[in-house]
Amino acid sequence: MSASLLTEDSAGLDGLSVWPGSTTRLPHGHLSVGGVSLAEVADRFDTPAYVLDEDEIRARCRMYRAAFPQADVVYAAKAFLSRAMVRWIHEEGLGLDVCSAGELELAVTAGFPPERVVLHGNAKTPRDIELGLRLGVGRIVVDSPSEVARIAALTGLPGRQKVMVRVVPGVAAGGHEKIRTGTDGQKFGLSLTDGSAQHAIARVLGQPQLELTGLHCHIGSQITEVKPYLVAVRRMVGLMARVRESHGVTFPELDLGGGHGVAYRPGEPALDVTALARRLNAELATSCAAAGLPVPRLAVEPGRAIAAPAGVALYRVLAVKHTGGKVFVAVDGGMSDNPRPALYGARYAPRLIGRATGAEPVTATVVGRHCEAGDVLADDVPLPGDVRPGDLIAVPVAGAYQVSMASAYNLVGRPPVVAVHGGAARLLVRRETQEDFRRRDVGV
């Protein structure tokens, strides 16, 4: 098991506990990941750039498979997706959760079996549904009443599509209000409290083209405690018992979504996946026994917990400014390649790499190059007092919800993604260029 899969180790003494397990100190302040010097990656591929450790991805997939041997582990593609990632996930035996025709098409054309795909989305387009049906996705998660008739009509007779109903179980969990999805008053799912979930279940059961295999819920993201998941299990099993009483139907599947939290900075908590699996299985067995139900097959959907700790973002310092009693370190990326600090107040632990320094640390704010005061990558973090233009800054835990949420703000091209493995680096996703922008802009 890689070092970064542990809650703490000796690397934590100097801030490397949240880095990929393959991270190694090199002379003169250099670091390597996957046997490759990060400074060499920056020189070869330029900056900003994202580095993804293939071995860390695979180790985390295997950790989940070991923790949930009798469950379906489904990787949430929204965290990060590329053709290489599709291959790694496939080879490690995970399923795939997609939210659009774009994610689905990339996955299937890269060789992923469509029957192991779960299609999500609170507002699926006709193309999303049509492509899912045509390619033969394993499950479609119903997120609104209107989808029931739409999926059934597009399936047609004598077709039969397996579906699940996404339930809002009334559980508040997650690291920020914008990523809490288990309570009423947000856009996802069908409420347990107002009866809309029960109504949708009845509608699905009335459609001969649809096979309702079970229920789905997702209570939030960046959750670091097990207890909210246990509450969700009890409420979902309670609903399953009521469905059996009302319709005589017993569901064989229960998908509890993902949202498993990781540590972005040394000392922060992370969800203990092994403890989660043990306590979920125990709670599910107890709740089902009390309700007189057979135990359904469980599914979980980790995304961040697999991708985030495997990624490192690399930036070049462009300017250092002392103003208003603060030190601003401006780099050549920013909110266009990582909007999370602006969206959620996400906190990171950037590190100077590529040269040795004995300078005392100063409290600095790492900012981007974009025309927004909120373009801040890391606020009030320790950096060497002699940080200067040309230095390299590396930010760990950068593998999820950064490249996947990147934009073309100020027409700054999105960074490349570079995989490292066994001492070699290779390009997975090339840098977006000015030529790409010119080709898309077809009007005069």
CA dist 387 → 111, 142, 146, 364 (Å): 45, 51, 56, 10
Tell me the C-alpha distance between 131 and 141, whole Å. 14
Q: Is 428 helix (H, G, I), strand (E, B) or coil?
A: strand
61, 217, 288, 371: the active-site residue:
371
Extended strands (E) in 113-265:
117-119, 139-142, 161-168, 190-191, 210-216, 253-255
Q: How many helices (DSSP H) and strands (DSSP E) are in the chain? A: 12, 21
Tell me the C-alpha distance between 270 and 223, whole Å. 8
> Which positions ≥6 away from 165 have C-beta within 8 Å?
141, 142, 190, 197, 200, 201, 204, 212, 215, 216
Q: Is 397 helix (H, G, I), strand (E, B) or coil?
A: coil
Tell me the C-alpha distance between 220 and 9, whole Å. 28
> Which positions ≥6 away from 323 have C-beta within 8 Å?
none
Please answer whether residues 409 and 336 qualify as being in contact, where contact means their C-beta atoms are separated by less than 8 angstroms: yes
> Which positions ≥6 away from 161 have C-beta within 8 Å?
133, 140, 151, 155, 209, 210, 211
Task: Name which of 144, 142, 135 is nearest 117 in CA terms.
Answer: 135
Please answer whether residues 221 and 179 qualify as being in contact, where contact means their C-beta atoms are separated by less than 8 angstroms: yes
Which residues share a beta bridge with 4? none
- What are 25's two structure tokens? 């100190």
CA dist 280 → 123, 218, 284 (Å): 30, 14, 6
Q: Is 371 a catalytic residue?
A: yes
> Which positions ≥6 away from 4 have C-beta within 8 Å?
17, 18, 19, 20, 21, 23, 56, 309
Which residues share a beta bridge with 272? none
| 233 CB-contact burial (10 Å; exposed 0-12 / middle 13-18 / buried 19+) | buried
Tell me the C-alpha distance between 246 and 238, whole Å. 12
Catalytic residue positions?
A: 371
